Copies of this chain bind each other. A is one copy, B any other.
Amino acid sequence: MPANLIDTIDRTSYEPAYAQLVRILRRQIAAGMFRPGHRLPSEAQLCEQYGVSPMTVRRVINILVEQGAVVAEQGRGTFVKPIELGTAAFHLDELQRLFQGEETTVKLLEARIVSASERTARKLLLEVGQRTVFIRRLISHDESPVLYHREHVIYDPTRPIVEAEMEVTALRGLFNGGSEATLKRGELAIDATVMTEEEARLLHVSPGNAAFRVEHIFYDFENVPVSWGWFICPGDRLRFTTTVGIYDQEPHNV
């Protein structure tokens, strides 16, 4: 039985051979040709079958492994991976989309110098009473508020980040990958909470509603924490979604 003509690499295509083979194998797995736990053809067989070099097949297998579709075991073979919930990754795509649109506005509610509380001092590695800049922002989309942001930025006149952070446009850069060259890394965590009265009022929802709370700490290139705070988002205005298992198309994650 000759191989399906669709499952053939077109050397005249603009799509590279390795990408075509990834697509072909993904589709075959998704179609159930290779079931979870079963072995894929060996790399040597794939070389011969599709007329590509070992290095190219190797690359294809690597990509499928990274995508979580298969698992390669040295000396044994390459096996189709069963569906696995634990590897699910939720992306903040929706948040990103929010900041890309022109209909999104950032309103600075407050920005003033305060003395660090015990909690703020602990998060930013400061002494209690040291100065921080307390910033409150309201992010709206299509005139409707969707995010309430409050953060503490360390106050250091020699550090230009304070002025930069005050700019309402700085937030947009953070989400879209602007030129925030002063920040090196950040740590994020999502909680589920019930909104306070202040939060509910600002976001135009009834108090007692559920919300996501995205806490963040950002560090500069000297690994000094420079910003701590969180976003509040009503639970019904944001949805984190993902997929697990085998898809015909490339996964949008990984």
- Could you list which residues of chain A lie within 8 angstroms of chain B, going by C-beta atoms? 30, 32, 35-37, 55, 66, 81-93, 95-96, 99, 173-181, 183-194, 208-212, 218-219, 221, 234-236, 239-247, 253-254
Contacts and interface: CB of A to CB of B under 8 A. Distances in A.
Contacts of A86: 92-93, 95-96, 99, 175-177
Nearest to A236: B191
Nearest to A90: B90
B88 A91 contact: yes
Identical chains in the assembly: 2
Contacts of A36: 179-181
B89 A95 contact: no
Contacts of A55: 55
A49 to B, nearest CB: 23
* Chain A interface main SS type: mixed
Contacts of A241: 187-190
Given A86-B96, A185-B247, A246-B185, A194 B208 contact: yes
Given A84-B175, A86-B99, A210 B185 contact: no
17 contacts: A35-B181, A37-B179, A66-B66, A66-B254, A82-B179, A83-B218, A84-B176, A85-B92, A85-B175, A86-B93, A185-B246, A185-B247, A189-B240, A190-B239, A191-B210, A194-B194, A208-B208
Contacts of A218: 83
Given A181-B35, A210-B210, A188 B92 contact: no
B184 A30 contact: yes
A37 B181 CA distance: 8
Contacts of A253: 89
A54 to B, nearest CB: 12
Contacts of A174: 83-85
Nearest to A212: B192
A234 B222 CA distance: 37
